Structures are given as C-alpha cells and as structure tokens.
Amino acid sequence: MAFDYIVEQLSARKSLSRYRQRVCLQPTVKDNASQHFAMHDTKIIVAGKEYINFSSNDYLGLNNHPQINKAMQEGIDKFGLCSSSSSLVTGYHYAHQALEEKICQWLNKPKCLLFSSGFAANVAFFQTLGQSTGKESKHKSCHFFLDKLSHASMLDGAYSSNAKVKRFAHNNTTQLSQLLSQSDSKNKLIASEGIFSMDGDQAHLKGLTDTAKTHNAWLYLDDAHSIGVIGKEGQGSVSLLNDTKSSDTNIIMATFGKAIATSGAFLACDENLHDYLINFARHYIYSTAISPALAWATIKSIELIQQEQWRRDKITELSMLLRQLLDNSINIISSASSIHAIIIGDEQKALAVSKQLRKQGIWLTAIRPPTVKIGSSRLRVTLCTSHNTNDIKHLARSLNEALI
C-alpha cells in the first residue's frame, strides 16, 4: 500500500502518548441577534463545557478589545479585508507602511518587513541569509549558531538553508563562544529566543550581545513571547538592558498573534538586510500580503500596549501569586514572563494531570515530545491580564491536589 508509513507513524504516536488532536471552541449566544466566540476572556467552551483557559497566548488580554475591533472595521472600510496581491505587485498598502513605521519607531529600528506568520518569518530569514553565494562553499559562506531550545521554525529555516548550523547548550554563552572561535566564516549569526516558548525563561541577552560583539557576529532574536509583555512600553527583551541599544540586536522577529492579539509577524532590521529580504526571500516575494485591515488594527493594538502598563504589571502580580500558592514540591521553572512551565516528566502522567484539571474546569494543555525533550513533558501555564485572583487560587489549589 502506498504511504503505509502514515498509519504506522500515527499508531506509534498513540502508543507513546504523543498523539495530537484539535479541539474546537464553541460559540456562546450573547443575544438573539448574533453569536460570539468565547475567545475574548479567560473562558472557553469545548464540547458544551466551560473552562478557565490557562493555555492562551493572549497575554495582555487584548483579543476582542473594542478599540482594536473598531480599528479593524475602519481598516476594512478604508482598504478592504484582503490585500489582493503580493507586496511586490500591488499588495503593499498604506496600512502596511504605517504599521512598519510604527514598529520601527517603537523598537528604534531602521526598517521593518511584515510576514503572514512567525513561522514564515523565521524560515524566510534563515533560508534567505543562508543561501549559497556563488562558488563559495557552504562551510565558508555562512555559519548559524542557535540556542538548543530555539523554536522549530528557526531550526527548520536554518537546516533547510545552505549554511553550516551549530547549536549551543541553552543559554550557555561559554560554549557559544567556543563554537564561534572554531568557525572560519566571516558571516556568523547567533540566534535565540527572547522568552523561550516552552520554558518561559529569558535569554541571557547581555551575554549574547557581548559574545556577538567579540566575535563580530550578528544577533537574531525571536521575541514572539516577549513583545508586548516585557519593557516599559512592551518593546520586548531588548528593553531589559539599559546600556544596550536595540541596534545591538541586529534582527528582531516577533509575532502579532500573541500579546499583540492580531495576526502575522515582522522582522525589524537595517536597510541593507531589509532590501535583501525583499529581493531574495521567497516567503515574502511569493506570498499574498497580510490583510491591510489587520495591519490597521495592529497599529491600534501597539498603541494600547505602549500606553497601558497596568496590563504588564498584572501579569507580574498574578505570577507571584501562583508561585506563592503552589506547593514547594512542584517543579516550576523560574520565569518573569507569562509562561510558567510545570515539569511533569512522563507523557502519560502529564496527560492524566491535564485530564484531571479539566474535571475542575481548568483547560491546561499537556506539552509532550517532540515539542519538548523526552522526559520533560509539562503543563505550560500561561497567565494573562484577563485572569483574576480567584482564577489563580483555583488553579493553584487544583494543581496542588493533582501533583502532591
């Protein structure tokens, strides 16, 4: 039978407790005239039952914000919903330009480029920067050095390029420096996440910037889980260093679909790299541009993020409360972000705990290999501005009952 490995591999996933299935969120009827999906607060409805959602990436609680919704409708009225073309044909609208300028001003970067998703932006960047250059050997042209816990899209982009790829132990700048010293390329790039998506811990940004300077390397930062959440105006990880300018991080990638609460992503960089990507990045050249109405709504979201520090303060307060209420025996990774990983270890146990929490009205997804390494299955708790103190108390009490 053709492609019989499909059934075999699915069966293997099931036997290892790594099989994945989607769940469909159901609408709730707010009135007789319309239906609204329960995606704008902490509650979700699955199979007719309501849960407190602790697996959302809506960190700042901005999804379905009335001002963002209004801006979206204004964008539709001004530009239409669809861009109707790629950015290099007729798809680049004033809304896109305005959003790029807003991001550049926000992050103090010269140029910005919009993508349909963070995955597309990461793959586009690494593939394009790491493509072969003439007769030059791939081992001579470009070397990438990625943190061991870098996102799958970064790894896919790097390994599908023509560059030589090395991975350094998580946040280990000593090993990184050794690997850089062994490289014979003049084109070296260090890549890391600002806030790591599965652990919630921060990159050692000062060490990375110092190492990059020492070895004349570029620094690339995937700030998908930091943008909006970190910094006085939500600028992300680079704002953590008072003595480091944004320019010390050569390229910043971040998504709109998490704290910013819209959809898409961007790369912020210098003028030359910006023009190089426009001319050589296949994901950009051959993709329809993101919705101009969505770009217009994203501008409003960024404005709210800049203005409303209380949203970030509340995440900090709720995170402190959770740690105070959890039993000391529970293995939770230290984090200053919205992400709090509770390490369970075994896949089956992680699934069992997740199932037990659902009986308590808590939606908390079990994260298993290959997303995380074998033996480190976990519950990935995300705390959002829309949660309240009672939500956290209920979560902590339920976790304590399930894990001790």
- Angle (nearest 5°) at CA 201 between 38 and 268: 80
Asked if 262 contacts 297 with a C-beta cutoff of 8 angstroms, the reply is yes
- Angle (nearest 5°) at CA 221 between 216 and 227: 145
Instruction: Find the catalytic residue in 109, 143, 151, 188.
Output: 151
What's the predicted TM-score (pTM) here?
Answer: 0.90
Instruction: Find the catalytic residue in 58, 100, 201, 222.
Output: 222
Annotated domain spans of the chain: 21-53+309-403, 67-307
Instruction: Find the catalytic residue in 58, 100, 147, 193.
Output: 193
Residue type at 89?
V
**Which pLDDT score, from 0 to 100, does residue 290 have?**
97
**Which pLDDT score, from 0 to 100, does residue 253 have?**
97
Calpha distance 261→75 (Å, rounded): 16
Radius of gyration of the chain (CA): 22
**Which pLDDT score, from 0 to 100, does residue 244 have?**
46
Known catalytic residue at 193: yes
Cβ contacts of 180 within 8 Å, gap of 6 or more: 145, 188, 190, 211, 215, 217
Instruction: Find the catalytic residue in 63, 197, 291, 376.
Output: 197
Q: Which of 272, 275, 270 is nearest to 245 (CA)?
A: 270
Calpha distance 192→171 (Å, rounded): 9
Q: How far is CA 404 from CA 108, 323, 340, 344, in A?
A: 47, 15, 18, 12
Known catalytic residue at 222: yes
Tell me which residues of the chain have a pLDDT lower than 70: 28-40, 132-140, 241-248
How is residue 283 written in tokens? 């994901």
pLDDT digits (tens, 9 = 90+) for 160-172: 999 999 999 999 9
Calpha distance 343→379 (Å, rounded): 7
**Which pLDDT score, from 0 to 100, does residue 324 have?**
95
Residue type at 398?
S
**Which pLDDT score, from 0 to 100, does residue 95 have?**
98
pLDDT digits (tens, 9 = 90+) for 188-208: 999 999 999 999 999 999 999
Instruction: Find the catalytic residue in 96, 111, 143, 258.
Output: 258
Known catalytic residue at 65: no
Where do we find the tokens 């019989």?
A: 4
Architecture in CATH of 21-53+309-403 = Alpha-Beta Complex (3.90)
Instruction: Find the catalytic residue in 57, 69, 172, 263.
Output: 57
Known catalytic residue at 49: no
3-state secondary structure of 75: helix
**CATH number at 67-307:** 3.40.640.10
Known catalytic residue at 337: no
**Which pLDDT score, from 0 to 100, does residue 35 have?**
44
Known catalytic residue at 274: no
* Half-sphere exposure for 361 (CA within 13 Å, toward CB): 9
Known catalytic residue at 317: no
Instruction: Find the catalytic residue in 93, 143, 188, 225.
Output: 225
**Which pLDDT score, from 0 to 100, does residue 36 have?**
44
**Which pLDDT score, from 0 to 100, does residue 139 have?**
43
